[in-house]
A and B are shown apart, each in its own frame.
Chain A
Amino acid sequence: MGDVANAFFNGEIFKESIWLLVKTLPTVFEVLILGLVCSYLWGLILSLMRLSRFRVLRYITGAYIDFFRGLPLLLLFVFIYYGLGTAGLKIGALVSGVLGLTLCYGAYSAEIFRAGIQAIPKGQTEAARSLGMTNGQAMRYVILPQAIKLVVPPLTNEFIAMIKDTSLMSVIAVPELLFRAKEKMGVVANPTPLTVAAIIYVVFTIPLIRVAARLETRRRKRPTGGIPASGLTPEAEMKLLAADIAGQLPKGGEGH
């Protein structure tokens, strides 16, 4: 029992590790913020192309989304950093990380945006069009402002998954939490740095999990009674929820 405690909670190493690992946070945040902005923007663009009038565009984006949802993120990181590097296209570790997140999470968030856009009742588009708005204006001024409000909770869940998936970048030498923790573990021959890394991860993820849960309940329970504030029909709510869950699915079996 004492051995186990010493292995995972060695006081001396614990203290050393905290500062060492906290120092990686600026790097982690940099990757995360860039990954968040790029992947959500890319996802929004993909979702609009997925819903385009042009069949070819729909098929291409559909194929893209399926492909990247089906691909392990770890493989993608290795491919971009080592694979392309071997082929003569050298990309830095950080950039590779952001690119991998964008390609992969762009596909997930595209499905969420699409579900959000489709959850807005058709009457909204019709009202906008009947006022003389073009399709683009209706999307921009009427549909998207409503859809984005709807997708905040599922996108928060995406972000939580993204935080955890930054650990996959340890294999492409991004100096992030897990990378430094493993390094330290090798030096001190003791897994306590992993414990510290674990604590730092959950310090960030648990509050977000709470926030996401609260956003979720707030969306479902509004004082307007039976009709949700979003004006969604119960079926549309179910569709969004289903897409929300589906968006989470591929990650479970991925890379870990």
Chain B
Amino acid sequence: MQILGLETSCDETGIAVFDTEKGLTAHAVYSQIDLHALYGGVVPELASRDHVRRLVPLVRKTLSDASIELGELDGLAYTAGPGLAGALMTGSVFARSVGWALGLPTVGVHHLEGHLLAPLLEPDPPIFPCVCLLVSGGHTMLIHVEAIGVYRLLGESIDDAAGEAFDKTAKMLGLPYPGGPHLAKLAEGGDAERFSLPRPMTDRPGFDFSFSGLKTAAITTLKKEVVSEQDRADIAASFQAAVVDTLLIKSQRAVEAEGVSQLVVSGGVSANRSLRDRFRDVFDQAGVQVAYPRLEFCTDNGAMIALAGGIRLQAGLRDPSDLTDPEALSASIRPRWPLDTLPLLPVNAS
């Protein structure tokens, strides 16, 4: 099956063609980072306005890169949630209109299922059951994955997401928006042990996170002690190490508690070099396989949506196609959508 995937949940328009036999055949992402940089953060209305400008040209480019015509598609997968309502709406209405006009099935994909399955696009895909650490600017979660589609939330951040804490701390360090990757770069020349910052909630049981206090501690230290360029690098490195340690400690515990030997780390922060190095050192020794998406698929993209949607469409899960069915009326977007309430795949499908 040839699936067109569309991701529009936040500030990236991502389009991809995924072939359930051959794998990913083309993908393109238009990032709105420059647009939102002026505002110091994502402006939801501007994000939605941009998606509606990008969809048609990006779909055409991606189809052309994949050397297929619209008519050769077998289905469409779009991000139905969670995310910004207006942004989700553009992708969802567009995808469902194309599906209607071409008589193709469509399926609304859970954005986080997309992230979680993104490592399946790589040559050495993870095996299930596993534990997934989903860590981005919007989410920090530990999830038990029994199989594709069967997810159980183990814990999540009770305040800032890890990536959000990165961005806010970076902003205080005077780094450009979005600051996370800039902070990581600055940290490369810093001494991670110079400043002692907390590893929040690691002293208590459970798998929840909290990064707001750590961010504040870093900013307080910054205001009090940081003068030179080296000081700035040291605080960046100390902050990064505290976040990575916290994620690592909780992930280790989750892997042990769930008795799995596979960990998936996905989402924007999973591109962090220091995180990947630390996780490799620790989990290699423990005999735990760690799978990541390739760097460009750590952040939002259409490929992961095309993949997750392709799996669902192949299993026969799709939006109701009879538009006179009242059920069809509810098939729209879900800005808030718990991951553990997804429709289950028929057992023989995967």
Judge: A and B partners, yes or no: no
- Residues on A facing B (Cβ under 8 Å): none
- Residues on B facing A (Cβ under 8 Å): none
